[in-house]
Chains A and B, each alone.
Chain A
Amino acid sequence: MSDHHVINSRARRVDTPAKATGRAVYVDDISRPNMLYGALLQSPIAHAKIISIDTSAAEKLPGVKCVVTSKEAGLVKYGVSPARYDETVFCHDKVRYVGDEIAAVAAIDRETAEKAVELIKVEFEPLPVLLTIEDAMAEDAPLLHEKYPRNITGEVHQEFGDVAAAFKECDLIKTTTVKNKRQDGGFIEPQGCIAEVDLAGNLTLTSSTQSPHYIQRTVAMVLGLDIGKVRVVKAYVGAGFGPKAGTNPMELACCLMALKTKRPVKMNYSREQVFLFCRARHAFTHKITIGVKKDGTLMALEHECHLDGGAYASFGPATVYYAGSLLAGPYKLPNMKYDGYRIYTNKPACGAQRGHGAVIARAAFEQQLDMIAEELGIDPLELRQKNMMETGDTTCNDLNMSSFGMAECLNAVTEGSDWKSKKGQLPPGKGIGLACGFFVSGAGFPIYRSDTYHGTVMIKLTEDGGTVLVYTASAEIGQGSDTTFAMIAAEGLGVPLEYVRLASGDTDMGVDLGAYSSRQTLMTGHATKEAAEDVKRQVLEVLSDELDVPVDTIDIVNGRIVFDRPVDFSGLRTRYIKEHRGWTDNPESDYFTFKEASRIAYLKKGTIVGTGKYKPHFLGGTYKGAAVGTSPAYGCSAQVAEVDVDLETGQITITQIVDAHDCGKAINRTSVEGQMQGSISMGIGEAMHEEVKFDAKGNVINNDFAEYKMVTALDMPPVDAIVVETDEPNGPYGAKEVGEGAIMPTIPAILNAVYDATGVRFYELPLTPERVFEELQKKKG
């Protein structure tokens, strides 16, 4: 079905046999001789001044090797975005949420460490606890961080075109406000790490991280170490979805205690601590006003958004930009005004989570599109088709859709769901809903301002010939990136996938910004392709030289050397065989093998190493915040959800979801579908069940998976995942994202389906039976 030999297939993943047998090693599966265990002291109150910290009793406890507070850790500020560094390893003057880190202990075992933590005495002077945006923004509210008046972490004010003028030309202007709730990452592996220091003072941190590179920089900066002395290694990671993309205080405390004790130190979050660290989806309130012409032409969007961000900035300053900028597509929208505010509150910090910043904005927008369609008497499908962007279009805020299979996606889902015969035809209680979305294939710029490459890859051929070793610092966190890059390397080099062995997730292997913003397939993929082609060129140049044929007449296809003319390679083969006297697997084929060629290349040139690198060309406009939302390419998707609502009890059953996603060229079709299905399950969770809840004092009250309701196999409807392919000019082999874009339409498709079933619009998530029931009752009067 394609011109490719390796990519665009359903190849078995390279990492899953180890995962299926329990052999894959995650952080907590590692132990080291002489290892200590660390534990954190976290604040039991949400907002207070620290009057004193007394660690003496903890230090005296037998088995305790190290107790650290801000005194030992120092007060170097860090965070995600350098402009908003607002965290220190440990609190020194005050605590800002229940869970804020105050001290850490390393001891001979976990029990001793936990006991020691209990012996640390902290005296607090409580401050008012700010749990809502309203309270936090009140004129007389205390400030969580002195630098940020009215507790605003960051605000965005952008206008593209002239919204006020455009509204004057509109026939219909509609305003709605939509709210979600804080969602947890819900990855099954809690964060963990092991830090160790060798005799030369080199620090190695093994962590369950999405971005070894950012962690390496932060650890070096905060602990005052030479970056060359810090190595961050990612073990197998039990998923991340965003919250594992930034450095956590446990990683820093662990490194600090390993440096102090000169012994390996291991630390883990419990599930409760995962909820306390959070850094997951913000709670958003979107007020959206859309203006259209009678014929459905979109004219303008006015958008105001407030994000309840928790106690620290984390990715929040980027989130508040994404929440606005990613509404500029996938429809032609000439005028857009956005005002966004990200607010500090005394809760665990929110950060990036799958569909960073854009998921609830998309839900609000797509629901409103349906409301507009209804008022105008236009089919929601037609309204979308009418306004849809096409390949080559650029949004009002300068996002360029270099490939955009949105129309194909819409066709695929409406056909796949039998939309035309169902829309408007279903009995009460049954409904069908449609929505679209798009997302970046990697952020256009790194988190810190830099000209760095976003990814570098090194490929080395083994000296005996035949095995391709790929080294990348990218992060396999479950999405299948190792397999993707092994496939791209094999494709680029012209060898079967089995020839490739890949190592990843280690800062010693190069620079890679990691697994976030759906960047790796496009960015690391480019670097991998370039490295593979570099290696191939080197091998072919040696052959050209040895056989005296022009280099551009030789190719490597599926592990064979292919010449466009008869070439006598017997001399080289003899040479190869002589190198391997006594071996039983000497080549006898009538073609020259890659194995032979790579050995000959080594004999001529020494170790064959190829390198690749990638950074995007300059993207976006020059306005403030133009960096956020830019990407070399955009994936897009459409979904149709069907629901069955019990009109008496309010219970919603999602009966089917048909999803189509334009991922450019699918490198691994099975993995693409897996990302689509996984995105949808996370979207369903957020739409239907998930909500991190707090009591009046700022404690998370549902800090386990019994009370924080994630989607189980019984809740998940059948999903028809349709892969739509386009040729993305900026992607390796035309590939772009799928990991996050696929979540965009899920929530609004469900909202629109529920409306179709019940005639009730919902402006607050999740759609719990209580909420649905109450609204149904109101409607009944």
Chain B
Amino acid sequence: MKKLIKLTVNDREVEAAVEPNLTLTDFLRYELNLTGTKKGCETGDCGACTVILDGIPVNSCLVLAVQANGRKVETIEGLATEEGLHPVQDAFVEHGAIQCGFCSPGMIMSAKHLLDKNPKPDEGEIRAAIAGNLCRCTGYQKIIDAIKSV
């Protein structure tokens, strides 16, 4: 039976009736059409679906949409403003930290959360903070360079 949920997604109030077995990833992607949150493994191992839930980055594939009821969700679509790219996004573009781009939304969300908490992280802190976001293209070097530059 569907459940009514009410949550904030990228500062916007959203109300929806969802099946309990719908994941937050699928809710964002297929119900809200926020397809920037990617599905890479669906088992919480790759981090492509990273969103920030009540201020904490999580694998949204391991969260039920109903669990997000009453909570605040930030996705990659919420970062850029009318003025342009978020500084983290801009740094990723500038430093060549994006290749295929499939890990990038999740990676950027983890990086943004790190920088929000710790504006001047050292390299070890950066590596630790993005250790849950797999990237098969870049070897991480340019991602780390990008995060350092923000």
Q: Do chains A and B touch in the complex (CB under 8 A)?
A: yes
Residues of A within 8 A of B (CB): 10, 12-13, 15-26, 28-29, 31, 185-190, 236-239, 241, 270-271, 477-480, 670-671, 673-674, 677-682, 704-706, 710-714, 716, 718-719, 721
> Closest Cβ of chain A: how far from B150's Cβ, in Å?
13
In the complex the two chains form, is B101's CB within 8 Å of A271's CB? Answer: no
Name the residue of chain A whose CB is nearest to the CB of B136: A186
> Closest Cβ of chain A: how far from B73's Cβ, in Å?
14
Which of A16, A190, A241, A480 touches B40 (beta carbons < 8 Å)? A190
In the complex the two chains form, is A714's CB within 8 Å of B101's CB? Answer: no
Q: Which residues of A contact B132 (CB under 8 A)?
A: 712
> Closest Cβ of chain A: how far from B122's Cβ, in Å?
13
Name the residue of chain B whose CB is nearest to the CB of A189: B102
In the complex the two chains form, is A26's CB within 8 Å of B142's CB? Answer: no
CA distance A705 to B39 in the complex (A): 13
Which of A12, A21, A705 touches B134 (beta carbons < 8 Å)? A705
5 closest Cβ pairs, A-B complex: A22-B36, A478-B100, A19-B101, A238-B102, A677-B139
Which of B43, B92, B101 touches A478 (beta carbons < 8 Å)? B101
In the complex the two chains form, is B43's CB within 8 Å of A718's CB? Answer: no
Q: Which residues of A contact B133 (CB under 8 A)?
A: 713
Q: Which residues of A contact B93 (CB under 8 A)?
A: 12-13, 16-17, 20
Q: Which residues of B contact A673 (CB under 8 A)?
A: 96, 141-142
In the complex the two chains form, is B134's CB within 8 Å of A678's CB? Answer: no
Apart from the given pairs A673-B142, A712-B132, 4 other A-B contacts in the complex at a CB distance below 8 Å: A26-B38, A704-B41, A712-B134, A716-B127
In the complex the two chains form, is A714's CB within 8 Å of B136's CB? Answer: no
In the complex the two chains form, is B100's CB within 8 Å of A670's CB? Answer: no
* Range for the number of chain B residues in contact with chain A: 35 or more
In the complex the two chains form, is B35's CB within 8 Å of A477's CB? Answer: no
14 A–B contacts, CB within 8 A, in A order: A25-B35, A28-B35, A187-B136, A188-B103, A241-B136, A271-B42, A478-B102, A479-B99, A670-B95, A674-B142, A681-B139, A705-B40, A710-B134, A716-B141
Most buried by B among A24, A704, A718: A24
Q: Which residues of B contact A19 (CB under 8 A)?
A: 98, 100-101, 104
Most buried by A among B46, B133, B144: B46
Q: Which residues of chain B from 103 to 145 have a CB within 8 Å of any chain A CB? A: 103-105, 108, 126-128, 130-144
Does B32 reach chain A (CB closer than 8 Å)? no
In the complex the two chains form, is B139's CB within 8 Å of A680's CB? Answer: yes
Known: A20-B85, A26-B102, A239-B99. A188 touches B36 (CB 8 A): no
In the complex the two chains form, is B76's CB within 8 Å of A22's CB? Answer: yes
In the complex the two chains form, is A239's CB within 8 Å of B102's CB? Answer: yes
> Closest Cβ of chain B: how far from A76's Cβ, in Å?
32
Known: A26-B38, A713-B140. A20 touches B104 (CB 8 A): yes
Q: Which residues of A contact B36 (CB under 8 A)?
A: 21-23
Which of B45, B92, B99 touches A480 (beta carbons < 8 Å)? B99
Does B15 reach chain A (CB closer than 8 Å)? no
Q: Which residues of B contact A24 (CB under 8 A)?
A: 101
Known: A16-B93, A23-B36. A713 touches B127 (CB 8 A): yes
Does B54 reach chain A (CB closer than 8 Å)? no
In the complex the two chains form, is A682's CB within 8 Å of B140's CB? Answer: no
Q: Which residues of chain B from 25 to 65 have a CB within 8 Å of any chain A CB? A: 29-30, 34-46, 48
Q: Which residues of B contact A704 (CB under 8 A)?
A: 41, 43, 45
Name the residue of chain A whose CB is nearest to the CB of B129: A713
In the complex the two chains form, is B45's CB within 8 Å of A705's CB? Answer: yes
Does B23 reach chain A (CB closer than 8 Å)? no
In the complex the two chains form, is B101's CB within 8 Å of A15's CB? Answer: yes
Known: A20-B92, A22-B35. A678 touches B144 (CB 8 A): no
Q: Which residues of chain B from 64 to 87 have a CB within 8 Å of any chain A CB? A: 75-77, 79-80, 85
In the complex the two chains form, is A21's CB within 8 Å of B80's CB? Answer: yes
CA distance A17 to B84 in the complex (A): 10
> Closest Cβ of chain B: how far from A276's Cβ, in Å?
14
Q: Which residues of B contact A477 (CB under 8 A)?
A: 100
> Closest Cβ of chain B: how far from A235's Cβ, in Å?
11
Q: How many A-B residue pairs have CB under 8 A?
A: 180
In the complex the two chains form, is A271's CB within 8 Å of B41's CB? Answer: yes
Name the residue of chain A whose CB is nearest to the CB of B44: A706
> Closest Cβ of chain A: how far from B61's Cβ, in Å?
11
Residues of B within 8 A of A (CB): 29-30, 34-46, 48, 75-77, 79-80, 85, 89-90, 92-96, 98-105, 108, 126-128, 130-144
CA distance A480 to B141 in the complex (A): 17
In the complex the two chains form, is A705's CB within 8 Å of B41's CB? Answer: yes
Name the residue of chain B whose CB is nearest to the CB of A683: B139
> Closest Cβ of chain B: how far from A501's Cβ, in Å?
17
Name the residue of chain B whose CB is nearest to the CB of A17: B93
In the complex the two chains form, is A189's CB within 8 Å of B40's CB? Answer: yes
CA distance A241 to B136 in the complex (A): 9
Q: Which residues of A contact B144 (CB under 8 A)?
A: 713
In the complex the two chains form, is B99's CB within 8 Å of A188's CB? Answer: no
> Closest Cβ of chain A: how far from B80's Cβ, in Å?
5
> Closest Cβ of chain A: how far from B133's Cβ, in Å?
8
CA distance A12 to B133 in the complex (A): 23
> Closest Cβ of chain A: how far from B134's Cβ, in Å?
6
Q: Which residues of A contact B38 (CB under 8 A)?
A: 26, 188-189, 238
> Closest Cβ of chain A: how far from B4's Cβ, in Å?
21
CA distance A713 to B90 in the complex (A): 20
> Closest Cβ of chain A: how far from B131's Cβ, in Å?
5
In the complex the two chains form, is A677's CB within 8 Å of B138's CB? Answer: yes
Known: A15-B101, A24-B101, A674-B142. A188 touches B80 (CB 8 A): no
In the complex the two chains form, is B34's CB within 8 Å of A22's CB? Answer: yes
Which of A16, A23, A712 touches B98 (beta carbons < 8 Å)? A16
CA distance A677 to B38 in the complex (A): 23
Known: A20-B89, A20-B93, A713-B131. A678 touches B99 (CB 8 A): yes
In the complex the two chains form, is A674's CB within 8 Å of B96's CB? Answer: yes
In the complex the two chains form, is B139's CB within 8 Å of A716's CB? Answer: yes
In the complex the two chains form, is B43's CB within 8 Å of A21's CB? Answer: no
In the complex the two chains form, is A270's CB within 8 Å of B103's CB? Answer: no
In the complex the two chains form, is B137's CB within 8 Å of A674's CB? Answer: yes
In the complex the two chains form, is A271's CB within 8 Å of B142's CB? Answer: no
Q: Which residues of A contact B130 (CB under 8 A)?
A: 713
Known: A20-B92, A188-B48, A237-B100. A270 touches B42 (CB 8 A): yes
In the complex the two chains form, is B101's CB within 8 Å of A16's CB? Answer: yes
Name the residue of chain A whose CB is nearest to the CB of B95: A670
Q: Which residues of A contact B37 (CB under 8 A)?
A: 22
Q: Which residues of A contact B43 (CB under 8 A)?
A: 271, 704-706
Name the residue of chain B whose CB is nearest to the CB of A238: B102
Most buried by B among A31, A239, A480, A679: A239
Q: Which residues of A contact B98 (CB under 8 A)?
A: 13, 16, 19-20
CA distance A310 to B75 in the complex (A): 41
In the complex the two chains form, is B136's CB within 8 Å of A29's CB? Answer: no
CA distance A335 to B135 in the complex (A): 41
CA distance A536 to B100 in the complex (A): 32
> Closest Cβ of chain B: how far from A756's Cβ, in Å?
23
Known: A20-B98, A21-B89, A674-B99. A710 touches B136 (CB 8 A): yes
CA distance A159 to B78 in the complex (A): 61
> Closest Cβ of chain B: how far from A83's Cβ, in Å?
32
CA distance A19 to B140 in the complex (A): 16
Q: Which residues of B contact A236 (CB under 8 A)?
A: 100-101
Q: Which residues of B contact A22 (CB under 8 A)?
A: 34-37, 75-77, 105
Most buried by A among B36, B94, B101, B134: B101
Which of B30, B40, B108 touches A20 (beta carbons < 8 Å)? B108
